[in-house]
Amino acid sequence: MKGLWIVTTETSAEPTRRDFLYIATGAVAAVGAAAAVWPFIAQMNPDASTIAAGAPIEVDLTPIAEGQDIKVFWRGKPIYIMNRTKKQVEEARSVALSALPDPQTDQERTKEGHEQWLVVIGICTHLGCIPIAHEGSYDGFFCPCHGSQYDSSGRIRQGPAPLNLPVPPYQFVSDSKIQIG
Amino acid sequence: MSGPSTYQPQSPFMKWLEQRLPIAGLVHSSFIAYPTPRNLNYWWTFGAILSMMLAVQIVTGIVLAMHYTPHVDLAFDSVERLVRDVNYGWLLRNMHAAGASMFFVAVYIHMLRGLYYGSYKAPREVLWILGVIIYLLMMATGFMGYVLPWGQMSFWGATVITNLFSAIPFVGDSIVTLLWGGYSVGNPTLNRFFSLHYLLPFVIAGVVVLHVWALHVTGQNNPAGVEPKTEKDTVPFTPYATLKDAFGMSCFLVFFCWFIFYMPNYLGDADNYIPANPGVTPPHIVPEWYYLPFYAILRSIPNKLMGVVAMFGAIIVLLFLPWLDSAKVRSLRYRPLAKRFFWGFVATCLMLGWLGAKPAEGMYTILGRIFTFFYFAYFLIVLPLLSRVEKTLPLPNSIAEDVLNKGKVVGTTAASLFAAVLAGTMLFGGVQSAKASEGGESPPSLSWSFAGPFGTYDRAQLQRGFKIYKEVCSACHSLKLLQYRNLAEPGGPSFTLDQAKAIAAEASIKDGPNDAGEMFERPGRLADTFHSPFPNEQAARAANGGAVPPDMSLLAKARSYPRGFPQFIFDFFTQFQEQGPNYIDALLQGYQDTPPEGFSLPDGSYYNKWFPGHSIKMPPPISDGQVTYDDGSPQTLPQYAKDVTAFLMWAAEPHLEARKRLGLQVMIFLIILSGLLYFTKRKVWSNVH
Ligand code: FES
């Protein structure tokens, strides 16, 4: 800002030592001002304790009976863990990929050997509401906000949401325990 | 703001806008074409410096408010979380805290300049009064801001200052209750102070607009004190004043950054790193340095009501200055007698500042009364009298003529600059020397790897220190503000992440409730803190003979001792800040089996040479050979003491290395910028002289 007027006061067409001094001063001041802005922006990012609190969590699956689900929180996000029935798995696997707005197989979205378990982040990909489990016409999730319907694999089937419910990073530590994160 | 604008818009859009909202014309006439006297010296750049500081305080303050929690149980920790965990949080906090002091440094210089050159005289009375109002608002804002971190000084400062109002007859107590929102300083008080501390800076900004408006109506005063008569007496604001101001601001930033990056605690009080405790008053309640002269006036009057009246009167009298001093000649340059009294007044203010930091007893009270008298006498006797009897020197005919006598001016400017620097350092030292009056020996100054501008922690030492904390201190003391992950973070003891995880896993953390509604124990994780071994404060007290072992997170910054005059002045230049570590190290080695003759030691206490009062409840915590070192360092008490102290310093300030590293970069940058601005300014001004 300090540099702005400077260049215009120069009348000679040839660059002079004076020009150089003015431009250098203006440039250094501008660089300083830009650098000074950085801490004020960086402070808005999650702080170190928030990041540390987002560490992986372990969830015990034994209390979840077939056909039931639980909701746990990881990094402030609701995670659905659903113990699917045979019928739900079947439905999820029999649908043709071409019929899906966001094509993905059920195999890609679950872990091999643990087919009945569906773990998805329960945030509607439309505008962030929490879909309700075991509702809607696809045996999966129904978002009450604007009517998006997800199937039993958490894939978008109908409504304004563009994408499937995302699968968080997780792995099975044992047959009855998963680690999310 | 000064008459119809001469601004000629060029582009069609600007023409269109100018007819509807003449904002470009306003900016042009106020900050570009605005004529400024060509003989202004660098004391006139403090107006721009103050605008800059107001902006810095508002911007950093808004950011701090994003991370601060105004609640008595959470405020202290939220400030520490900001400093430790938020990206650049330590920087923003230091900027705001040191910025408050810098704001006052600049405002005092600005006011003294006004006083010296008679800038309050007709037609600038309203300009001056608006300035005094800004100053009053600044005092209120600064005070409430100091309360927000909710440390010991915050709490007791709030208590003492709000109690000033109890001196008002009849309604005093009701007013104090009203201010507190309770029967003592508490959560409602903190909440309203936060709200008002956020509001007042914008009120200040509003009054600043009026101040600048009034300035642009009357025009600036100048060192000669004669009004500009012809074109030759003035230069356009831009580029001449703009560049001069920019150079002044850049130099001031160097000074400011010295505090931000190297001396962040020099102007603060160690006691404010102890969380507020309504049950214990610190031995020395000292306000921030910028209130000290008024605090001295308050204490020198032996009557509660009159003391408060005198204190407020000392500021209110400034409002009447334009009429108390009726001399026609403005600048003290042409008033030889008044000039002497002016410097006497400056000395009086400094003395009052120094006395304000001293205990109110004996000699100090007497001196306090004498200088309080001098203070008021300057305004109420000296100035009215002098303006009638003094024989003034001949004034220059015009500003242009004044510029020709430049050589002389440089001499006086240099002399007064020197005096101001000296005065400033003396005032800063007031607080420090206050505590020096407690007397007694100071702990020996050790050499620390983290001292000085390039200081860094010694990794091996931090790891050894941590071992001592774990094996010895942690039996009684917590480190609540530290998390296990910190052990592996850059700038610290450099444990690997796996080592830190393993250390965390050794701890057992109470968590829950689980699905069955029960609390359970689990191994620690990286995000857990070093919690206290005792379930609650009462248990800690019971197990330790009635004394709670303090949390050690901030110990190295919360302990200090006086450095005395003139040592504290050298400390400013040598960046000495290691009182805390010196004290802790000395304390650990300061136990004596037999107290000196005549000292009666209470039961269950131990004699320690360095503990205040000498009687400490903590038994000697560590002795030779108690902890095994793997790296071959001597297993002796002095080595243990030094290692654990270094560890505690890191615990108190985990970003110390980042602070000093960034400080060096910023300093180099600012010095280059100041140099460039200086030469640019000289080039531009060369055609004026
Ligand atoms: S947010 Fe779910 S449908 Fe809009």
- d(Cα B402, Cα B117) in Å, to the nearest integer? 14
Q: What pLDDT score was predicted for residue B418?
A: 66
A6 to chain B: closest CA residue = B239
Do B275 and B558 touch, CB atoms closer than 8 A? no
Rg (CA), chain A: 27
Count of domains in chain A?
2
Angle between helices B362-377 and B336-356 (to 10 degrees): 150
The answer to whether residue B631 sits within a structural domain is yes
Task: Give residue A21's domain range.
Answer: 2-42
B183 and B67 together in one domain: yes
For residue B63, the surrounding DSSP H or E stretch is: helix B46-65
Q: What pLDDT score was predicted for residue B1?
A: 42
Q: Which residues of B473-510 are buried (b: 16+ CB within 10 A; e: fewer)?
A: bbebbbbbbbbbbbbbbebbbebeeeebbebbbebeee
For residue B30, the surrounding DSSP H or E stretch is: helix B23-31
Tokens 């005289």 belong to which residue?
A: B121
| ipTM for the whole complex | 0.87
In percent, how much of chain A has pLDDT > 90?
A: 78
Chain B residues with CB-CB distance to A56 below 8 A: none
* A126 assigned to active site: no
Judged against a pLDDT cut of 80, whether residue A28 lies above it is answered with: yes
Query: Among residues B535, B566, B530, B564, which one has the least CA distance to residue B548?
Result: B535
B605 and B685 together in one domain: no
B290 and B273 together in one domain: no
Give mean pLDDT in consecutive 10-residue pieces for chain B, a chain of 689 residues. Answer: 66 92 90 92 96 97 97 96 96 97 97 96 96 97 96 94 92 94 95 97 98 94 93 91 96 97 92 94 89 94 93 96 94 94 96 89 91 97 94 90 69 62 60 50 91 95 96 94 94 94 92 85 90 91 89 94 82 92 95 88 90 90 92 94 97 96 97 96 87
A38 and A58 together in one domain: no
Q: What pLDDT score was predicted for residue B494?
A: 93
B176 and B78 together in one domain: yes
Residue B331 is which amino acid?
Answer: S
**Which residue owns the Cα nearest ligand 1 atom 1?**
A127
Do B367 and B305 touch, CB atoms closer than 8 A? no
- What pTM was computed for the model? 0.90
Ligand 1 midpoint to CA A69 (Å):
21
Judged against a pLDDT cut of 60, whether residue A66 lies above it is answered with: yes
Q: Which of A114, A126, A134, A146 is catalytic?
A: A146
pLDDT in tens, B257-269: 999 999 999 988 9
* CATH classification of the domain holding B96: 1.20.810.10
Residue length of chain B: 689
Q: What pLDDT score was predicted for residue A177?
A: 92
What residue ranges line ligand 1, CB within 6 angstroms? A 124, 126-129, 143, 145-148, 159-161
- d(Cα B461, Cα B467) in Å, to the nearest integer? 10
Query: CA neighbours within 13 Å on the CB side: how many for A16?
Result: 8
DSSP character at residue B606: E
B82 and B182 together in one domain: yes
Count of domains in chain B?
3
B483 to chain A: closest CA residue = A49
Instruction: Tell which B residues from 662 to 681 touch A, by Cβ distance under 8 Å.
Output: 669-670, 672-673, 676-677, 679-680
Chain A residues with CB-CB distance to B515 below 8 A: 63
The answer to whether residue B486 sits within a structural domain is no
B412 and B469 together in one domain: no
Ligand 1 midpoint to CA B687 (Å):
68
What sign has the CA pseudo-torsion B273, B276, B282, B286?
A: positive
- d(Cα B219, Cα B229) in Å, to the nearest integer? 12
- d(Cα B55, Cα B51) in Å, to the nearest integer? 6
Partner-chain contact B85 A22, CB within 8 Å = no
B251 and B355 together in one domain: no
B83 and B126 together in one domain: yes
- d(Cα B540, Cα B53) in Å, to the nearest integer? 45
The rounded Cα A67 to chain-centroid distance in angstroms is 27
B109 and B258 together in one domain: yes
A31 and A108 together in one domain: no
Residue A66 is which amino acid?
Answer: E
DSSP character at residue B525: -
Measured between alpha carbons, how far is residue B86 from residues A39, B96, B493, B528 in Å?
10, 15, 20, 17
The answer to whether residue B641 sits within a structural domain is yes
Atom of ligand 1 nearest to the CA of A147: 3
The answer to whether residue B504 sits within a structural domain is no
Q: What pLDDT score was predicted for residue B8?
A: 86
Min distance A17 CA to chain B CA atoms (Å): 11
Partner-chain contact A39 B87, CB within 8 Å = yes
Q: Which residue in B60, B86, B243, B244 has the most chain A C-beta atoms within 10 A of its own C-beta, making it the best mutation to test that interface?
A: B86
- d(Cα B322, Cα A103) in Å, to the nearest integer? 81
B254 and B190 together in one domain: yes
Partner-chain contact A39 B525, CB within 8 Å = no
Q: What pLDDT score was predicted for residue B438?
A: 47
Q: What angle do CA B73, B78, B79 make, to 5 degrees?
A: 120
The answer to whether residue B13 sits within a structural domain is no
Three-state DSSP string of chain A: CCCHHHHHCCCCCCCCHHHHHHHHHHHHHHHHHHHHHHHHHHCCCCCHHHHHHCCCEEEECCCCCCCCEEEEEECCEEEEEEECCHHHHHHHHHCCHHHCCCCCCHHHHCCCCCCCEEEEECCCCCCCCCCEEEECCCCEEECCCCCCEECCCCCEEECCCCCCCCCCCEEEEECCEEEEC
Task: Give residue B388's domain range.
Answer: 286-439
- d(Cα A109, Cα B457) in Å, to the nearest integer? 48
Q: Which residues of A109-131 are buried (b: 16+ CB within 10 A; e: fewer)?
A: bbeeeeebbbbbbbbbbbeeebb
Q: What pLDDT score was predicted for residue B127?
A: 97
B270 and B338 together in one domain: no
